[in-house]
Amino acid sequence: MGRRDDVALPELVERARGADPRAVARLITMVESGSPGLPELAALLVPDSGYAHVVGLTGAPGVGKSTATSALVGALRRQERRVGVLAVDPTSPFSGGALLGDRIRMQTHATDAGVLIRSMATRGHLGGLAAAVPLALRVLDAARCDVTLLETVGVGQSEVDVAGSADTTLVLLAPGLGDGVQAAKAGVLEIADVFVVNKADRDGAGRVAADLRQMLGLGGPHSAAGSWRPMIVMTSAEQGTGIDDVLAAIAKHRAWLDGADRLHQRRVRRAAREIEGLTLAQLRARLGGVRHGGALAELAAAVVERRTDAHAAARLLADGAIPPGSGPSR
Amino acid sequence: MGRRDDVALPELVERARGADPRAVARLITMVESGSPGLPELAALLVPDSGYAHVVGLTGAPGVGKSTATSALVGALRRQERRVGVLAVDPTSPFSGGALLGDRIRMQTHATDAGVLIRSMATRGHLGGLAAAVPLALRVLDAARCDVTLLETVGVGQSEVDVAGSADTTLVLLAPGLGDGVQAAKAGVLEIADVFVVNKADRDGAGRVAADLRQMLGLGGPHSAAGSWRPMIVMTSAEQGTGIDDVLAAIAKHRAWLDGADRLHQRRVRRAAREIEGLTLAQLRARLGGVRHGGALAELAAAVVERRTDAHAAARLLADGAIPPGSGPSR
């Protein structure tokens, strides 16, 4: 599952830069499996990072996410843009690189050299999604994807976390799923830059859009204060209608991001979350178990023997990392 | 919800030491709400900590946990031991000190000065259950509870985490809930020091015990290597039968713990987990958001501007806390 030793990491990264699909696949599998080579990989990918416009796609099961992704890939290819697709399942164990499902549903694009498709499961990964997804995206940056579609499988908080790795987030809805807008709860509505009401040819699609408009109190895509107000686009991914409108909405959002340095700011916030996740993961790994001795074991014994308390012990450990006063409360 | 300012914290702790139920209630509410006074409280409770024998009670809904707790409280009181009950719901928002449910089901003991009963919800607490439960237990230590029953509400991983705070863990099972032993999955069987098969007067109770025995491959309570082998006790909490057998099993486990320094070792491992949780929570709080400036913001900008990578940035932050080589891998 990890990197095979017959090819050195710098060589694999070079091949990924040449858009070799097997090199890309092997690097993303490395990321997925939490290989010890990840720090080296991260360092090698520094010059590539941030190349693609990352578009997140999220939505409840049944809204037609896979079909919409496939339609978007086709439309982007007609614009001659190189496309990456990263399908993330935050609830699964390692996929082990198995891509059968993706291959079937994306087979239209399977032989297109301008399309790279990978799925990734990250359950149990050290540092979790916060660490794995950004690094996998950088592998696709290295392969010079102009747009990377970051598709999340499943719902819930981790879906929101994954969407946090995107520059532009699409939330897909469809009529006939419970009560439409209500079907996408739990913070998902708040993360949308663009709402895509799919299956627009079906009964109730207009109602979903109307509910959204009411919820948003929409006047237009841009509010007075220069903040982004989510757009609503109607599509039928199966029939291929409305897909160009989605691309137009993505482009509009990108233009807004490029104004006033917003893309940079958004990506800095994202990098901060990534660093935070990795720092906590490293500290957890270093604190380790008490059987191995070290500072934690000594402090734990001191707590049990009533020589100190756990809060004071934690403060001692934390002070070493970030002295009080140098943090945000300064 | 937090501590009122009309009584200083040392004074509240003194009153708790005198077993004043209102002082105990206020201190545990402080812990539940994540009050800024917790480090001071933790320091004040150092001399009290570890007094009670902490007995965890866990089990799927419907096994009769509340009835069993109430019966155990009664039996312990007949032995003239002071009893604390801490009911923890890891899935609820703050209970805000509301105890109506507890009051109703434990009303037999409500007027007994030798019994202190509190419930606690810890969702959203900084440091989570790992930080809140041990500190709440120390409040009951201060009130000189000889035995504290730590009852978890709900099921799943957090239940296992809570049970990790106990010296002795009882896992309750009952016939007629799905398929008995299988009903308690997800790591719960592994944490049991004593299995209590409740509702022993009902059909299928013998089968549950037989399944357990088969699963454990039981010869006797102590295996050759001096490791503890879980005991199985049959009870009918409603009819009050078997409760003294549960107390005898708890006493037997305690005697085993007292041999070969096992209680101390178990508590050191527990304290290490507690310190780890608090350290990570403190670091998370200090790393804060990027809007406030500081090291994280600078490193995040460096990542976006392709001057470093997130892994290297995280290493920089983590190295300050625990230099590589001083940890468990030494």
Query: What contacts B143, CB < 8 A, 6 or more positions away?
Result: B16, B17, B19, B24, B82, B84, B116
Segments of chain B with pLDDT less than 50: 1-4, 92-104, 124, 183, 186, 219-224, 290, 325-330
* Among B79, B316, B295, residue whose Cα is nearest residue A324: B295
Is residue A19 one of the residues assigned to a domain? no
Domain identity same for A149 and A181: yes
What is the mean pLDDT, run by run of 10 residues, along chain A of 330 residues?
67 94 92 86 91 91 85 93 86 41 53 81 59 90 95 65 84 76 59 92 90 72 67 92 96 92 87 81 66 73 88 80 45
Both B125 and B231 in one domain: the answer is yes
Using an 8 Å CB-CB cutoff, list chain B residues near A324. Answer: 286
Residue that terminates a domain, selected from B215, B240, B259? B259
The answer to whether residues B223 and B102 belong to one domain is: yes
| Interchain CB distance below 8 Å, A278 and B42 | no
Query: Could you tell me if A174 and A201 are in contact, meaning their C-beta atoms sit under 8 angstroms apart?
Result: no
Give the residue carrying structure tokens 């037997």: B252
For residue A114, report the phi and psi dihedrals to the nearest 5 degrees: -90, 5
Kindly report the CATH number assigned to the domain that includes residue B200.
Answer: 3.40.50.300
Q: Is residue B2 part of a domain?
A: no
Query: Which residues of B are less than 8 Å from A286 in CB distance?
Result: 318, 321-322, 324, 327-329
Is residue A3 in a domain? no
Domain presence at residue B295: yes
For residues B13 and B135, give the distance between their C-alpha atoms in angstroms, rounded to a whole number: 13
Structural domain range at position B115: 49-259
Rounded Cα distance between B159 and B12, Å, is 30
Query: From A319, which residue of chain B is nearest by alpha-carbon distance?
Result: B321
The amino acid sitting at B79 is Q
Min Cα distance B326 → chain A (Å) is 6
ipTM for the complex?
0.75
Same-domain check for residues A243 and A276: no
pLDDT digits (tens, 9 = 90+) for B147-191: 999 988 655 556 666 777 899 999 998 888 755 555 455 466 778
CB contact under 8 A, A310 and B281: no
Residues B243 and B295 in one domain: no
Tokens (6 digits) for A22: 């097997």
End of a domain among B259, B291, B312?
A: B259
Q: One-letter amino acid identity for A148?
A: T
pLDDT digits over B266-290, tens only? 898 888 888 877 877 777 776 665 4
Q: Is residue B241 part of a domain?
A: yes
A82 occurs within a structural domain? yes
- Which amino acid is residue B149, in one-letter code? L
Residues A205 and A316 in one domain: no
Total count of domains within chain B: 2
Are A103 and A212 within one domain? Answer: yes
State how far residue A259 is from chain B, nearest Cα, in angstroms: 17
C-beta contacts of B25-31 below 8 A and 24+ residues apart: B25/B97, B25/B118, B27/B3, B27/B139, B28/B86, B28/B118, B28/B120, B28/B136, B28/B139, B29/B1, B29/B2, B29/B96, B29/B97, B30/B2, B30/B3, B31/B120, B31/B132, B31/B135, B31/B136, B31/B139
A208 plus A295 within the same structural domain: no
* Domain-terminating residue out of B217, B238, B259: B259
In a domain, B5, yes or no: no
Do B134 and B214 belong together in one domain? yes
In 3D, which of A268, A18, A280 has the Cα closest to residue A134?
A: A268
A240 and A130 within one domain: yes
pTM: 0.64
Question: Does one domain contain both A140 and A118?
Answer: yes
Do B144 and B56 fall into the same domain? yes
By residue count, chain B amounts to 330
Give the 3-state DSSP-derived string for B74-116, with helices as H, strands as E and coil as C.
HHHHHCCCCEEEEEEECCCCCCCCCCHHHHHHCHHHCCCCCEE
Q: If you measure CA to CA, which chain A residue comes closest to B266?
A: A304
A185 falls within a domain: yes
